[in-house]
Amino acid sequence: MADTGEGVKEEADYKRLHSFPLIRHTDMPEEMRVEAMELCVTACEKYATNNESAAKMIKEMMDKKFGSSWHVVIGEGFGFEITHEVKNLLYMFFGGSLAVCVWKCS
């Protein structure tokens, strides 16, 4: 039988190794992409146990910085099909399996 302490250690190591943002798809301009990615990382770290609050923070900051009609989905194991404005989509992973999708449509 495996030691439970070892499993916790492996999970902590996995999360530490995958704590960088991994962009899966984006069509944003470079400056917007960097700001959105940093905002997503900050929100996910600040609200590590509350994805709804993290999504709300990202949406409000993106609305303020880049105009209204931004949408945010944060979670694990979800699928989606969206319509978005060109050059306004970011789909990334953070912390291993946490996915963040940010897009604008009006």
| DSSP H/E element including 61 | helix 51-66
Q: Beta-carbon neighbour count of residue 25 at 10 Å?
A: 9
pLDDT digits (tens, 9 = 90+) for 27-81: 999 999 999 999 999 999 999 999 999 999 999 999 999 999 999 999 999 988 9
Q: Please, which residues bridge with residue 102 across strands?
A: 72, 90
Domain boundaries of the chain, sorted by first residue:
19-104
Identify the CATH assignment for 19-104 out of 3.40.980.10, 3.30.740.10, 3.30.950.10, 3.40.50.10860: 3.30.740.10
Considering the entire predicted model, what is its pTM?
0.80
